A and B are shown apart, each in its own frame.
Chain A
Amino acid sequence: MTSFAISAAGVSKRFGGLTAVNGVDLAVPEYSISSIIGPNGAGKTTLFNCVSGFYIPDEGEIRFGGHAIQGLPTHKICDLGIARTYQNIRLFKQMTAIENILVGYHPRMSTSWAESILHTRRYRQEQKNALEEAFELLDYVGLSGMGNILARNLPYGAQRRLEIARALASNPTLLLLDEPTAGMNSQETGEMRAFIKELRDSRHITILLIEHDMRVVMDISDQVTVLDYGLKIAEGKPAEIQSDQRVIEAYLGPGAAALSEKFTRKRIDHVAKR
């Protein structure tokens, strides 16, 4: 039996009258790459926010590494080993790239403010180690030599990678990526796709991502979960999802299957005429 990195049972989140996430069950196998997809407003990011502690779910339980984590403050959840990135990049803009990563190291460092004033041996050692690791992480995400550039001055793709590096710095066992390829061209998307796979293999972590680019989702996912109007409508391997009637309807509307059939026939006719 596979063990699960994170599991959610009956998670609901309501905003006033709107139920953004409605009784969703989720089980992400360890060391897998799992995707959550769904049309806009399906509750994907809300679910992410419940997992990373930004929202407290109204109902249900989220278990991670043997703890029930719903309701914990976000920094505690980060300590436990969940790190995330954001749909619209949220770096510390006025800090350099390397400093952004060093903030990611924060939970793994322990020296106090008094030690940093006195520059104790322990402080210097810790600072040195963190800095060395941070530079390696910078190389790892392919930003060598950009360490002293302010985050806001980095090119877009580099900012996405830096956000991942910052998340990796806390040594997470579960990495949440919110639309990692949003706004990228096809070449950058391809690179990111390879990078995510490599990330899972070399660092041995579980990755849960939200993604709109179906080529990316179908290529890298071990498991795909589909949300629509806050409900989970399908879950399974990419191939199963592609042929799932309800998924197609959720994306294209009712009767879409017939429509797509008609469209295919038309194209065949067109080709035949020529």
Chain B
Amino acid sequence: MLPHIKKGLVSGFTVGIVFVFLILIGFISVGAGMIWDLFGNLNNPSGNVTLTVSNLIIFIGLFGFLAGLTTWDKGAEGDWVQTLLAGLAAGLLGGVLVGAVIWEIGSLYEQGVDLRAYLPNLCPEEMTFLLFDHSPMAAALVYLISWVSFSLAGALITKAVSTRDWFSKINSKIKDGVNRLALKDQIQKVLENKAVLIGLLILLGLVLYFLPLAWGSYLNYIMGTVAIYVLLGLGLNIIVGYSGQLVLGYVAFFAIGAYTYALLTAPAPHGIELNVWLAMATAMVTATLTGLLLGLPILNLRGDYLAIVTLGFGEIIRILIRSDLLTPLTNGPKGITNIGQPTWHGHIFSDVNYMHLLFLLVLVGLFVAKRLKDSRTGRAWISIREDQTVAQATGVNTYRYKILALLLGAAFAGLGGALFASRNQFTGPEDFMLMVSVNVLCIVIVGGMGSLPGVLIGAFVLKGLPELLRELEDYRLLAFGALLVVMMIVRPSGLLPARQTQFSRAQHDKYKQERAEVN
């Protein structure tokens, strides 16, 4: 009986600590607000934005439930009493922890201590909300009770669900059915038909054409950002995902692309005002050349050393841009305004036009990345990622291929930078913080190293979702970290891990037959 209680205490403690942390950073009202977004609108069509106690209780309950849920051991057998005890232990410990913290900060608040001096997010409104406008003691009790009851519910429901045969039976039935239908093969077969493929492509084209028209400017803005990050992700995926070189200063190429485009098209500081398409191409070329300059000396480094050197490079570029030395050239910290925009039939690009352009470029980027992956070049890259020494002994000129990966990756970043600058019409050194590199790297890792659908999903999850869930904005980094940790535990190879191309034997067999006939 003891191990169950111990397990309960551990999960109660873990989840409790997480919850306390969320209280202290003031995330609780945000979380409750999200629940209000999800469910509250139904009950409250008037759109009256007041966070209700029920939302808070649901939010608390979610965590209590989680605590109870984690007490369940997949393989371990346990009867109902043991489950009950584990859930109780988890709920009690977590509830006492959370209750104590609430009581403590509640009492301090009642005594008139300004908590904001230490924890800036605990403003009076937040405190009133946390205490349900009651005394600290009463509030703490509510927390304790809801934790215990939800934790018990969590433990019992998990047990009920996982002990039932029907659950696993249905699961395996579905899998069987899918296998029997041989859905994958069928789809493969249908896709091999050229007419179907062309039809699907036209359909996709139509969808991509009409989506931006329907989206409205806010969604177009967000999805545009996602698309730019997809381009960046595709580029970094070549460097990190394919050739396995950990480059942390990817933002440098992005910055150089953006600044090249901006300086060539803006009226100030140089007044060149070049044709925008030409400027875009130049931005790609400059970024690529920078990649060459960076790559030649450093690509002999491996692993950690490469990461550190490129990290420094990213920062150096940003600092150079805003330095006094280069201010005459780059306009320094003020940045560049009135950056040139493409035109279409005499009209300056609208958000819809931009979205169309971005979709087109993303499709081209995907196409290029896919073809590279399946080619001799792509195989050389992946072999370098897997075992550089052996790759070289197998005849791959590793140095050359690593440089090539960096150049192509930089070209993508240059293009992304040009589009970014052009769409925002303004760019400054603060656009090119280290965080951009980290974001793009996260996209590649979360999506799945070397996986193209992974880049799409990763960019949407990491750039699109936070924008759509505006409430999360302040807690982006927190969510980022949590997501990465959870992902590394649950899906260590990414949301959509890369699949190796399957080579069909049919072609080969046919060839063999022909030869046999000749003989």
Question: Of all chain A residues, which has the CB nearest B378?
Answer: A116
Per the 8 Å Cβ criterion, residues 379-410 of B in contact with A are: 379-380, 382-383, 385-387, 389-398, 404, 408
Report the separation of the CA atoms of residues A263 and B124 in the bound assembly, to the nearest whole angstrom: 93
| CB pair B375 A123 closer than 8 Å | yes
Chain A nearest CB, measured from B157 CB (Å): 37
Chain B nearest CB, measured from A247 CB (Å): 31
Question: Of all chain B residues, which has the CB nearest A112?
Answer: B377
Chain A nearest CB, measured from B369 CB (Å): 9
| CB pair A90 B382 closer than 8 Å | no
The listed residue (A75, A94, A128, A167) touching B500 by CB distance below 8 A is A94
Chain B nearest CB, measured from A50 CB (Å): 13
B194 CB-CB contact with A under 8 Å? no
B344 CB-CB contact with A under 8 Å? no
A106 CB-CB contact with B under 8 Å? yes
| CB pair B372 A117 closer than 8 Å | yes
| CB pair A113 B500 closer than 8 Å | no
| CB pair B392 A99 closer than 8 Å | no
Report the separation of the CA atoms of residues A135 and B396 in the bound assembly, to the nearest whole angstrom: 21
| CB pair B380 A132 closer than 8 Å | no
Contact of A117 with B379 at beta-carbon distance under 8 Å, contacts A99-B500, A128-B507 already known: no
Report the separation of the CA atoms of residues A213 and B90 in the bound assembly, to the nearest whole angstrom: 59
Per the 8 Å Cβ criterion, residues 488-519 of B in contact with A are: 498, 500-503, 505, 507-508, 511
| CB pair B503 A106 closer than 8 Å | no
Question: Of all chain B residues, which has the CB nearest A73?
Answer: B392
Per the 8 Å Cβ criterion, residues 32-50 of A in contact with B are: none
| CB pair A150 B380 closer than 8 Å | no
B395 contacts across to A, CB distance below 8 A: 75, 78-79, 104, 106-107, 170
Chain B nearest CB, measured from A159 CB (Å): 13
A195 contacts across to B, CB distance below 8 A: none
The listed residue (B393, B501, B503) touching A78 by CB distance below 8 A is B393
Contact with A along B190-230 (1 / 0, CB 8 A): 00000000000000000000000000000000000000000
A130 contacts across to B, CB distance below 8 A: 376
B371 CB-CB contact with A under 8 Å? yes
B479 CB-CB contact with A under 8 Å? no
Contact of A104 with B508 at beta-carbon distance under 8 Å, contacts A95-B382, A116-B372 already known: no
Contact of A135 with B377 at beta-carbon distance under 8 Å, contacts A74-B392, A103-B391 already known: no
| CB pair A103 B379 closer than 8 Å | yes
A-B contact count (CB 8 A): 124
| CB pair B396 A131 closer than 8 Å | no
Q: Which of B385, B404, B508 has the most CB of A within 10 A?
A: B508
B482 CB-CB contact with A under 8 Å? no
| CB pair A92 B387 closer than 8 Å | yes
Chain A nearest CB, measured from B498 CB (Å): 8
Chain B nearest CB, measured from A3 CB (Å): 25
Chain A nearest CB, measured from B262 CB (Å): 29
Per the 8 Å Cβ criterion, residues 106-147 of A in contact with B are: 106-107, 109, 111-113, 116-117, 119, 123, 126-128, 130-132, 135-136, 145, 147
Count residues of B near A (Cβ-Cβ below 8 Å): 37
| CB pair B500 A131 closer than 8 Å | no
A53 CB-CB contact with B under 8 Å? yes
| CB pair B382 A94 closer than 8 Å | yes
The listed residue (A52, A116, A126) touching B377 by CB distance below 8 A is A116
Contact of A148 with B502 at beta-carbon distance under 8 Å, contacts A90-B387, A103-B380, A135-B508 already known: yes
Chain B nearest CB, measured from A52 CB (Å): 6
Per the 8 Å Cβ criterion, residues 55-92 of A in contact with B are: 73-75, 77-79, 83-84, 86, 90, 92
Interface range, A side: 35 or more
Contact of A131 with B393 at beta-carbon distance under 8 Å, contacts A75-B398, A92-B387, A113-B377 already known: no
A112 contacts across to B, CB distance below 8 A: 377
A75 contacts across to B, CB distance below 8 A: 392-398
Report the separation of the CA atoms of residues A78 and B390 in the bound assembly, to the nearest whole angstrom: 11
Chain B nearest CB, measured from A55 CB (Å): 12
Contact of A74 with B393 at beta-carbon distance under 8 Å, contacts A102-B379, A106-B376 already known: yes
Question: Of all chain B residues, which has the CB nearest A147?
Answer: B503
B368 CB-CB contact with A under 8 Å? yes
| CB pair B502 A106 closer than 8 Å | no
A166 CB-CB contact with B under 8 Å? yes
| CB pair A150 B505 closer than 8 Å | no
Chain A nearest CB, measured from B518 CB (Å): 15
| CB pair B408 A113 closer than 8 Å | yes
Chain B nearest CB, measured from A104 CB (Å): 6
Report the separation of the CA atoms of residues A90 and B387 in the bound assembly, to the nearest whole angstrom: 8
Question: Of all chain A residues, which has the CB nearest B369?
Answer: A117
Q: Which of B376, B383, B503 has the most CB of A within 10 A?
A: B376
Question: Of all chain A residues, which has the CB nearest B390?
Answer: A90
Contact of A86 with B390 at beta-carbon distance under 8 Å, contacts A79-B395, A95-B383, A147-B505 already known: yes
| CB pair B372 A131 closer than 8 Å | no
| CB pair A150 B372 closer than 8 Å | no
Question: Of all chain A residues, which has the CB nearest B498?
Answer: A94
Chain B nearest CB, measured from A103 CB (Å): 5
| CB pair A103 B507 closer than 8 Å | no
A96 CB-CB contact with B under 8 Å? yes
| CB pair B386 A116 closer than 8 Å | no
Chain B nearest CB, measured from A68 CB (Å): 19
Chain A nearest CB, measured from B252 CB (Å): 22
| CB pair A116 B371 closer than 8 Å | yes
A103 contacts across to B, CB distance below 8 A: 379-380, 383, 391, 394, 396
- Residues of B near any A CB (own CB < 8 A): 367-368, 371-372, 374-380, 382-383, 385-387, 389-398, 404, 408, 498, 500-503, 505, 507-508, 511
Can you name 18 extra interface pairs (CB under 8 A) apart from A73-B392, A78-B393, A95-B500? A73-B397, A78-B394, A92-B382, A94-B500, A95-B382, A95-B383, A95-B386, A96-B501, A99-B503, A103-B396, A106-B395, A116-B377, A117-B368, A123-B375, A128-B507, A132-B508, A147-B503, A148-B503
- Residues of A near any B CB (own CB < 8 A): 52-54, 73-75, 77-79, 83-84, 86, 90, 92-96, 98-99, 102-107, 109, 111-113, 116-117, 119, 123, 126-128, 130-132, 135-136, 145, 147-148, 150, 166-167, 170
Query: Which 6 A-B residue pairs are closest in the complex by CB-CB distance?
Result: A116-B375, A107-B395, A92-B386, A78-B395, A135-B508, A113-B377
